[in-house]
Structure 1
Amino acid sequence: MAFSVCIISNVINGTLLQVIDSYRRVSDDILVGFNGLLAADVADFALQYPDIKPHLLTWKGYGPTKNELAAKAKYDWILSVDSDEIASPELQQSLAAVQFKEINTVYCLLLVHRIGTERVRYGTFGASKELKKRLYNRKAVSWDTEKVHEALTFPKQVTFETLKGILYHHTAENTADIRAKNRKYALLSAENMLEKGKKYTYSKPYLSGLNAFMKQYIFKKGFLDGRIGFLLARESALYAWWKYRFLQQLRQKRSS
């Protein structure tokens, strides 16, 4: 039984092309949902890569946008990956050989983070096996409506299976890229917290930042990754600090 590959992206770059190429051998239905790009750029992409199905989507948040793209897929079984997640050769083999079961079965992939070409082995990114639930049947499973840190919603009776191989997350080329991504995600997280009535205290950004650094660098042994481990812990702390400062700014803007 076949499946569709759905990728959400706001850029056309070398990493996206690597991602697409890693799934060409396992699916004949690869969709890329572009947002924030010009229609002419998407049309040009379609001409250059006729075997890929690009769609220009209006951004509605991660979960809703992923659901919209999945609804356009040829098959009910959906492999949802990000525009920086590349399938290893072993994972490609597993995907090609997967025998789909009931529609309430969800397949998990082992995610491994990389900064540039370097694998992160400790800290929040590498200290434990991170299994991502990514291959599902759209008749039974869908994404929630969170703006960031979206997750799949499941029926009451659901089973999980893990496929062999690695889903390489090309996290960033360097820590500057991570900082840019974190700032964007911090604002989205703050917007979510505001909608849910999350309260802000003066000490929260500092305590949250310190806790994030300690968790990443000490408790999850990020220091064993050397310099990159320290830099990642620093960026994690900054993300946590930003998140609550943005919440403060949003609450002030709402009350003014």
Structure 2
Amino acid sequence: MSTKAKLSAVIITYNEVDYIKDCIESILFADEIIVVDSFSTDGTWEYLQNHPKITAIQHPFENFTKQKSYALSCAQYNWVYFFDADERVTPKLEKEIILTINNPTAKDAYWNYRTFMFKNKRLYFSGWQTDKVYRLFKKNSCEFINERIVHETLKVNGTEGILKEKLIHYSYKNYEDYKGKMLKYGQLKAKESFLKGKKWNVLQQYLRPTWKFFNHYIIRLGILDGAKGVTICYLNALGVYERFRELKKLQSE
């Protein structure tokens, strides 16, 4: 009789007190839950410490890739589901994950499509309709790519598959929160570009954000999302603008 596969759920957090409870509730089926917190100040850390099923660890944040690599090293089981505090595993996705890790012909890593939520309503277009990320994978076959310090991804030494069920993504809490997130991503992306030797120029500063907005709002049908589409497409474009503004600043230092 084969032994049931064990699963480590791994999450990184910083000031997620409004979202972390529902996140944890959705992954309680995992055999262990590892949460690495970068010194939250809003009550997130206290919640993590007091939860009986969570192994809570504090670790200083340098960039997303290093933080996730550290968190991954804390997992004791080979099968890992690595997701974010603003994401939720649905009951159908839970069943698929359990079936997958207990399948003897399972792949080494799986992409997970996501449903983007604008507050509590689904966003259907605006470039997010094909959004997918690595979430379920074997620890001994995968590692985070060091050169990517934001929008981190895995290097998979093996086979890949795609989960059928979608992960729910509550990325947009409110305007200021999402704006801050896009600006932070832009700054980290600028650092990544700078380390690769990429140079700022005025055409990129203005054309790339304009193209980002046009692509997501017109080509990828953000216009059909109404006012929500305008907001998301603008803020995503703002993140691109910030990337090149920050790159110019880094070059002048």
Whether the TM-score (by the shorter chain) exceeds 0.5 is yes
Return the offset for 1:60.
3.3
- The residue aligned with 1:86 is 88
State the one-letter code of the partner of 1:50. P
Partners of 2:90 and 2:168 within 8 A in 1 = yes
Partners of 1:4 and 1:76 within 8 A in 2 = yes
Q: State yes or no: 1:140 paired with 2:141.
A: yes
Partners of 1:67 and 1:143 within 8 A in 2 = yes
| Gapped regions of structure 1 (runs ≥ 5) | none
CA distance in 2, matches of 1:65, 1:135: 18
CA distance in 2, matches of 1:22, 1:167: 11
- The residue aligned with 1:36 is 39
Return the offset for 1:47.
4.4
Partners of 2:108 and 2:156 within 8 A in 1 = no
- Identical columns (%): 24
Matches for 1:26-105 after TM superposition, within 5 Å: 26-37=29-40, 42=45, 44-98=46-100, 99-101=102-104, 105=108
CA distance in 1, matches of 2:39, 2:198: 29
Partners of 2:20 and 2:44 within 8 A in 1 = no
- The residue aligned with 2:20 is 16
Number of residue equivalences? 246
Partners of 1:107 and 1:133 within 8 A in 2 = yes
Tell me which of 101, 109, 112 is aligned to 2:112.
Answer: 109
Return the offset for 1:174.
2.4
Stretch moving more, 93-102 or 141-150: 93-102
CA distance in 2, matches of 1:131, 1:187: 23
- The residue aligned with 2:177 is 177
- The change in CA–CA distance for 1:162 and 1:91 in structure 2 (over 3 A counts) is same
Q: TM-score, normalised by structure 1?
A: 0.90
Stretch moving more, 189-198 or 68-77: 68-77
State the one-letter code of the partner of 2:94. Q
Matches for 1:224-239 after TM superposition, within 5 Å: 224-239=224-239
| Partner secondary structure for residue 192 of structure 2 | helix
Partners of 2:49 and 2:56 within 8 A in 1 = no
CA distance in 2, matches of 1:79, 1:41: 21
CA distance in 1, matches of 2:198, 2:31: 44
- The residue aligned with 2:11 is 7
Q: TM-score, normalised by structure 2?
A: 0.91
The superposition leaves residues 46-89 of structure 1 with CA deviations (integer Å, 9 ceiling, x where unpaired) of 54212111111122321222121111112111111011111112
The superposition leaves residues 87-109 of structure 1 with CA deviations (integer Å, 9 ceiling, x where unpaired) of 11210121232224468621222
Computed over aligned residues only, the root mean square deviation of the Cα atoms, in angstroms, reads: 1.8
Stretch moving more, 175-184 or 2-11: 175-184
CA distance in 1, matches of 2:85, 2:48: 17
Return the offset for 1:185.
0.7
State the one-letter code of the partner of 2:208. S
- The residue aligned with 2:241 is 241
